[in-house]
Structure 1
Amino acid sequence: MSTSHVIKGATLIDGTGADPVRNATVVVQDGLVTYAGPADQAEEPENARIVEADGATVMPGLMDVHVHISLSAPAHLVQEVTARSFGEAAFEVSANLADTVAGGVTTIRTVSDLGHLDIAARDAIVKGKLNGPRVHPCGHGLTTTGGHGDIMPCWLSQSHGDIAEIVDGPDEIRKGIRKQAKAGATWIKLFQTGGVVDPHGRLDAEEFLPCEFEAALEAANLLGMPVCVHAHNKPAIIRSIRNGCRSIEHGMHFDEECAELAKEHGTWLVPTLTVMDRIIQDGKQAGVPDYIIENVIERTDKHREYVKYAYDIGVNIAAGTDAGSLLTPHGSGGQEVIQFVKCGMTVVQAIEVATRNTAKLLQDDTIGTLEPGKQADLIVVDGDVAGDPDLLADRTRMREVLVAGRRVASGGRQVTC
């Protein structure tokens, strides 16, 4: 049974979009929020752990629904995935989970990882074998031969597989989806275009044939599994929306027409602004190839404009950073909030996107806000986040990180299970 906690004196940002509440109290009992509001109306349970939080902010745990938990933010992706044994990658997953919660991220969705390590991580956390965030895994993403997710050279992928499942033709796609379901995945990931890391213009090409793509959506729908699609260019985005995918990942060319179609269909956009910003800010010094940096710089201003347009007309937007990918550390959820603010959202709006809205993408109404009856996934951040969202990028300011009322991190470090 979880310890009772009473967090006193902080400014409350509850994730609903409501204005911040100064001098608030949040009460947690048996893993649930039982009160969140003005201090003078709170009833404190006996023998509760008291957290004096004057000058701090209490808010829902951040979410990151575009994570590669088996990657560790390399400057050179192919070098990383070919230099490690499978065992080394498994140990890195454990470290990456610790970094995730240390950064205030309490829920993740993985979007293509090596050897179903994401599914194993979820199960280990559920069994209490290690501390970590809630994990919604997709197992292997599906890609074509030579596609964006086909990373490893043949000799290595034959040893222990690739980060993605390489499938060609409708029958292989159906089988690939069934394999992810059998392994315990709850989402399906499709790589439908190249990415910013790909040379020779593959960002503007599609990968699966129409018949292959339709077979994938049909098979996933039969299994009741939502589909997220890596799609940068406009034709791929439109194809994905019209075929019933749940979310578009990245969407560098998610323009006004795409936004209006997404709103009509209820499709979500996960723009992964953080990884693009990391490439621009740190790429040259880290040795990232020039063509990757140029790919991002060429599109970033428009990308931000498209995100703000989509938000303003009511498109569903969720928070994902591409953590684990190029130069993007695990636990970067606060950075995505900062990026949303740079797009023109208020801090409270950006936090709502990264909490309540993202929980809606995951179809989990038990998390995402600090309201009575919700799971006590929360963070206490030293400082006034409403006035300075950059605080969310400093994990040392994460005084308390709770998942279902259990303290999993503090001061930028995981708490031992």
Structure 2
Amino acid sequence: MITILENANVVDVESGTIHADRHLILEDGTIREIAEGKAPTLDAQRIAVDGGFVIPGLIDAHVHVTAYTANLGELPRQSPMYVAARTAQVLKGMLGRGFTTVRDVGGADFGIAQAVEEGLIPGPRILYGGKALSASGGHGDHRSMGMDRTDETYAQVSLGRRCDGVDAVRLAARDEIRRGAHHIKIMANGGISSPTDRITSDQFSEAEIAAIVDEANMADLYVVSHTYTARSVARAVRNGVRSIEHGNLLDEETVALMKAAGSYLTPTLSCFRALAEVGAESGFPKDRMDKIRLVLDSGIRAVELAHRAGVPMAYGTDLIGPMHARQLHEFALRSEVVPPADLLRAATSTAAKLVRLENEIGHVRENYRADLNVLTANPLDKGVLDGFAAHLRLVIKGGIVQN
């Protein structure tokens, strides 16, 4: 089936310019042609864009699609089939917001990714890392202090898996690679949702981090690291981690280290704002709410430092439970310190480079995947991305208009 978009303003996200009065021919899931003026006569579905603005499909580089609840400790106690059904609802919502690709950094597996790829459930393309690797007592360990159970199985739904020591982390990384992971996620710092660690604690020795990076490199993959503090970020970057998640407590020295190493930063301001405002009522454990205050206000400063230093930043949200509905809020939160063109790149071309699909997605170009959004206003104008949902007219994934 061929679809033609007529009278479109095509946004070139790389140059930050608009190409007016274009038509786009979409065929077999790709953009076959972009040209000026009227489209040729073809047997095709024709859509009058009427001067709307065509941008690439959005990429969220930090999601947990199986986290239908804000109480992550509940996931292993649920039926995997029930979690899959709830995950389908989460994915449908993401696609409806204009996200055509997401990078899942803990929880999703080959089964849910394959279901989307085969069209069994509507949703964005899923680049999954399987279960995040965590040290015992780390951010991926959701046992309470009084719980000594060690009989969890991989089949239970969870965002992470425990592994300790160089040999064990190598084995865990190899297992996730065997299961088709697109990247390997590590918990290298304390976290908010975990019950027994501190935000300031480093997790995994540098030898363990280096071993995981080595395994990923051998498989031509890369490592994603959950990290808040400057010290934990520096430990990760020194040992070859490519993608730093959160980074709320960065300092100038560590930002310079990231820039020199070519590391990416994926801030997730929307997660902390949502947890602070509605976390408790959404089911997030109340005994962990105090942790949020340690990272909430520092996040925007970290974004400003990274932007000023030229560290590439991808769009990420890290939302859980009913807070998934706030997925587009990241635009407004970052807009205080990041201009519109760079904000749009974070959710398109920069994120595409991060996930190593820059020759397939993240741009409106011929021979790229036909993953597109049509907006009623120019996203390069200040304030438009802040109200993205109000301006979103069409979502197209693989050349098919989504309902």
Fold conserved (TM > 0.5)?
Answer: yes
User: Are 2:155 and 1:157 equivalent residues in the alignment?
Assistant: no
Is the 2:225–2:245 contact (alpha carbons within 8 Å) kept by the matching residues of 1?
A: yes
Is the 1:385–1:391 contact (alpha carbons within 8 Å) kept by the matching residues of 2?
A: no
Which of 120, 140, 156 is 1:129 aligned to? 120
Is the 1:103–1:331 contact (alpha carbons within 8 Å) kept by the matching residues of 2?
A: no
Q: Distance in 2 between matches of 1:214 and 1:384?
A: 44
Greater Cα shift, 261-270 or 301-310: 301-310
Is the 1:13–1:348 contact (alpha carbons within 8 Å) kept by the matching residues of 2?
A: no
SS in 1 for 2:109: helix
Q: Distance in 2 between matches of 1:149 and 1:110?
A: 15
SS in 1 for 2:363: coil
The residue correspondences of 1:14-29 to structure 2 (distance < 5 A) are 14-21=12-19, 23-29=21-27
- Quote the residue 1:215 is aligned against: 211
- Quote the residue 2:368 is aligned against: 374
1:347 deviates by 1.8
Q: What TM-score do you get using the length of structure 1 for normalisation?
A: 0.86
Which of 135, 150, 161 is 1:144 aligned to? 135
- Quote the residue 1:77 is aligned against: 72
- Quote the residue 2:58 is aligned against: 62
Is the 1:57–1:381 contact (alpha carbons within 8 Å) kept by the matching residues of 2?
A: yes
User: Are 2:192 and 1:192 equivalent residues in the alignment?
Assistant: no
Q: Distance in 1 between matches of 2:41 and 2:91?
A: 32
Q: Aligned in 2, Cα 1:237/1:216: closer, same or farther, shift over 3 Å?
A: same
Is the 1:194–1:204 contact (alpha carbons within 8 Å) kept by the matching residues of 2?
A: yes
Q: Aligned in 2, Cα 1:392/1:218: closer, same or farther, shift over 3 Å?
A: same
Q: Distance in 2 between matches of 1:165 and 1:232?
A: 20
Greater Cα shift, 248-257 or 192-201: 192-201
- Quote the residue 1:415 is aligned against: none
Amino acid at match of 1:373: N
The residue correspondences of 1:248-259 to structure 2 (distance < 5 A) are 248-259=244-255
Provide, for residues 29-52 of structure 1, a one-character-per-residue CA deviation record: whole Å limited to 9, x for no partner: 332224446x53x53451222222
1:287 deviates by 6.0
User: Are 2:324 and 1:329 equivalent residues in the alignment?
Assistant: yes
Q: Distance in 1 between matches of 2:247 and 2:161?
A: 22
SS in 2 for 1:189: strand
Q: Distance in 2 between matches of 1:206 and 1:76?
A: 24
Q: Distance in 2 between matches of 1:292 and 1:44?
A: 60
Is the 1:66–1:109 contact (alpha carbons within 8 Å) kept by the matching residues of 2?
A: yes
Is the 1:217–1:244 contact (alpha carbons within 8 Å) kept by the matching residues of 2?
A: yes
Q: Aligned in 2, Cα 1:404/1:261: closer, same or farther, shift over 3 Å?
A: same
1:10 deviates by 4.4
- Quote the residue 2:100 is aligned against: 106
- Quote the residue 1:400 is aligned against: 394
State the structure with bigger RCO (CA 8 A, min sep 6), 1 or 2: 1
1:195 deviates by 1.2
Q: Distance in 1 between matches of 2:251 and 2:182?
A: 29
Q: Distance in 2 between matches of 1:30 and 1:216?
A: 38
SS in 2 for 1:121: helix
User: Are 2:5 and 1:7 equivalent residues in the alignment?
Assistant: yes
Unaligned runs of 5+ in 1: 411-417
Provide, for residues 137-179 of structure 1, a one-character-per-residue CA deviation record: whole Å limited to 9, x for no partner: 1011100122111125637834844431210111111110111
The residue correspondences of 1:205-354 to structure 2 (distance < 5 A) are 205-283=201-279, 285-286=281-282, 288=284, 292-323=288-319, 325=320, 327-329=322-324, 332=327, 334-342=328-336, 344-354=337-347
Aligned-pair identity in percent equals: 27
Is the 1:275–1:327 contact (alpha carbons within 8 Å) kept by the matching residues of 2?
A: no
Greater Cα shift, 247-256 or 45-54: 45-54
Provide, for residues 238-273 of structure 1, a one-character-per-residue CA deviation record: whole Å limited to 9, x for no partner: 011111111001111122111111110100101112
- Quote the residue 2:351 is aligned against: 358
Provide, for residues 286-344 of structure 1, a one-character-per-residue CA deviation record: whole Å limited to 9, x for no partner: 46456654433443333212212212221111111113x26531682x332333213x2
Q: Distance in 1 between matches of 2:41 and 2:29?
A: 14
Q: Aligned in 2, Cα 1:386/1:84: closer, same or farther, shift over 3 Å?
A: same
Q: Distance in 1 between matches of 2:290 and 2:394?
A: 39
Is the 2:138–2:196 contact (alpha carbons within 8 Å) kept by the matching residues of 1?
A: no
Amino acid at match of 1:359: A
Which of 369, 385, 390 is 1:389 aligned to? 385
Amino acid at match of 1:260: A
Q: Distance in 2 between matches of 1:330 and 1:165?
A: 27
Q: Aligned in 2, Cα 1:326/1:147: closer, same or farther, shift over 3 Å?
A: farther
Q: What TM-score do you get using the length of structure 2 for normalisation?
A: 0.89
SS in 1 for 2:298: helix
Q: 1 or 2, which has the higher helix percentage?
A: 1
SS in 2 for 1:316: coil
Is the 2:268–2:330 contact (alpha carbons within 8 Å) kept by the matching residues of 1?
A: yes
Greater Cα shift, 302-311 or 22-31: 22-31
SS in 2 for 1:203: coil
SS in 1 for 2:59: strand
1:216 deviates by 1.6
Greater Cα shift, 199-208 or 181-190: 199-208
Which of 96, 100, 115 is 2:90 aligned to? 96
Q: Distance in 2 between matches of 1:393 and 1:258?
A: 35
Q: Aligned in 2, Cα 1:284/1:4: closer, same or farther, shift over 3 Å?
A: same
Q: Distance in 1 between matches of 2:72 and 2:373?
A: 32
